[in-house]
Amino acid sequence: MAVTNYEILDLTQDVTTTRTLLHESIPLTGTIISGTYGTFPSEDNIKNYTHGQFQSVYDYPYLSSSANHIFDISIGYDEASPLSGSPGVTLEAKKINMYNQFSQVLLGYTGSTNTVRKFELDLTLDEVGAMQESFFLNFSRLITKDQIKKGSVSITLGTGSWATPFAGTKVLTDVSASDTGGTTNTFGGDYGLLYSSDNVVRGLVFYQAGIAVLSTSSFDVMTDFLSESAGTKSVAQVFVSSSITGACDALRHRVQNISFNNTTEINSTIYFCRVPHNKYNHSSNPTYLSASTIRVKNVATDTPVAYITTIGLYSSQNELLAVAKLSEPLRKDPTNEITLRVRLDY
């Protein structure tokens, strides 16, 4: 039936808003990225596309409706890179396009001719220390939520031989980034630096965009970044002569672990529903009466009792906008005054 008995909220005192940041730990083990769902490089949870511009990693064979998209991998280099125009180059235009797409979205343009900025291995964006060849890891919104938590990123890369990639590892962390510093703000949001344990910057992480940009420098000294039937390739050779998909496969083979904390921003409105001691001690519930007599009383002087199970929040037009339920009935009688804090999250 219609509710006709309302308690008016004093909107200056009974309503407040809060902002809460929730963090979840996201561990992505290398076995999911490579080797769990089939034989490398043709795992069932790895989706390649005919356009050949990036590769998608799922947490389960992607043809299953249970699969969740985790992240995409791509590579690219700047057209001014030494690799550009190399003999035997494969898909060069697409590799340059990928680099430009990431940089124009994350960094924007610069100069009077509006040239696309290059990624730099520092926080100054002064066109010094450019990272001209990059791996890109685009994490899904499903796992990054509103943003990656600053200072929580850890990427472990295998730097051993192709056969035993994790005989040596390099751990990249954004150790200098925090909510109060260690980042630079750009078009793509805040970014921080990924340091290896020898305190060398090996990449960038864009927190709001959920994108890690890895330098090839982690693998520069290796001669067998990739090994295939035709022989072995250094990382530079992979960037030149392998397809983007092939380069992504090679990187997946060397990812041992990725972990970070995501951030979800929850804005809440809390309504303080104050139930006075002398009101709402009776009910219009049909079972409240037996032959018009209040069941919970023997004589008129007995204390009236009612039990609250539901709080309805209404507009001024009597529209029910939100409902909150108690976990168990709450006894209400004239001896107690109750404040129910009803929280609405957005």
Partner 1 sequence: MAFLDNSGDIILDAVLTETGRRRMAQGDFRITKFALGDDEIDYSLYDKTHPSGSAYYDLTILQTPIFEAFTQVNAGINYGLLPNTATDLLYLPTMKINELTGIDTNIARKGSSTASSLFYLTDTSKDTTSLNIGSVLAASGSRDHLNGTSTGRYVLLETGLDTGFGNVPAGSSTNRTSYLINNNLIDRFFYVFYDSRFIGSVLGSSGVDNVFNNTADNNGLNISFTLDSAPATSISIGLENYAAARVNVIPNGVVYTSDSNNTEETYSAIAGPRGVAGAVAFTVKAGLDPEYTLYGSVNQSFGSNTIDYIDTTVYVQGGTTGTQIQIPVRIARIS
Choose which of 223, 312, 336, 337 interacts with partner 1 (CB under 8 A).
Answer: 312
Task: Convert residues 313-332 into a mask of x (bound to partner 1 by CB under 8 A) and - (unbound).
Answer: xxxxxxxxxxxxxxxxxxxx
Choose which of 105, 125, 130, 311 interacts with partner 1 (CB under 8 A).
Answer: 311
Minimal distance in Å, beta carbon 342 to partner 1? 5
The answer to the question of residue 309 lying near partner 1 (CB under 8 A) is yes
The answer to the question of residue 7 lying near partner 1 (CB under 8 A) is yes
Contact window for partner 1 (CB under 8 A) among 40-48, 135-143, 209-217, 308-316:
308-316
Give yes or no for a contact between 214 and 135, defined as CB atoms under 8 angstroms apart.
yes
Q: Rank residues 214 and 275 by Cβ distance to partner 1 and give the closer one.
A: 275
Minimal distance in Å, beta carbon 8 to partner 1? 5
Choose which of 4, 12, 39, 65 interacts with partner 1 (CB under 8 A).
Answer: 4
Burial 40-55 (b: 16+ CB within 10 A, else e): ebebbbbbbeeebbbb
Q: Rank residues 86 and 269 by Cβ distance to partner 1 and give the closer one.
A: 269
Distance of CA 238 to the CA centre of its chain: 30
Contact window for partner 1 (CB under 8 A) among 62-70, 167-175, 221-229, 311-319:
311-319
Contact window for partner 1 (CB under 8 A) among 106-114, 122-130, 143-151, 335-343:
335-343
Give yes or no for a contact between 137 and 154, defined as CB atoms under 8 angstroms apart.
no
Minimal distance in Å, beta carbon 10 to partner 1? 10
Q: Rank residues 67 and 294 by Cβ distance to partner 1 and give the closer one.
A: 294
Give yes or no for a contact between 60 and 67, defined as CB atoms under 8 angstroms apart.
yes
Q: Rank residues 39 and 292 by Cβ distance to partner 1 and give the closer one.
A: 292
Of 8-27, which residues contact partner 1 (CB under 8 A)? 8-9, 11, 15
Can you name the residues that pair with 275 across neighbouring β-strands?
338
Residues in Cβ contact with 163 at an 8 Å cutoff, skipping those fewer than 6 apart:
227
Minimal distance in Å, beta carbon 13 to partner 1? 13
Cis peptide bond prior to 41, omega within 30° of 0: yes
Contact window for partner 1 (CB under 8 A) among 56-64, 107-115, 241-249, 310-318:
310-318
Minimal distance in Å, beta carbon 14 to partner 1? 9
DSSP string, 176-225: T-BTTBSEEEETTEEEEEEE-TTS-EEEEEETTTTEEEEEGGGGTT-S-S
Quick count: other Cβ atoms within 10 Å of Cβ 111? 9
CA distances from 256 to 29, 60, 164 (A): 6, 18, 12
How many chain residues bind partner 1 (CB under 8 A)? 78
The answer to the question of residue 171 lying near partner 1 (CB under 8 A) is no
Distance of CA 326 to the CA centre of its chain: 32
Minimal distance in Å, beta carbon 149 to partner 1? 24
Minimal distance in Å, beta carbon 268 to partner 1? 9
Angle at 269 between CA 335 and CA 4, to 5 degrees: 55
Minimal distance in Å, beta carbon 32 to partner 1? 33
- Alpha-carbon distance 230 to 100, whole Å? 31
Minimal distance in Å, beta carbon 21 to partner 1? 18
Assign residue 129 a region: left if phi > 0, alpha if psi is -120 to 50, beta otherwise? left
Q: Rank residues 180 and 298 by Cβ distance to partner 1 and give the closer one.
A: 298
Of 257-296, which residues contact partner 1 (CB under 8 A)? 271, 273, 275, 278-296
The answer to the question of residue 141 lying near partner 1 (CB under 8 A) is no
CA distances from 62 to 44, 48, 69, 74, 90 (A): 7, 11, 8, 18, 27
Tell me the backbone φ, ψ of residue 128, rounded to 5 degrees: -115, 135
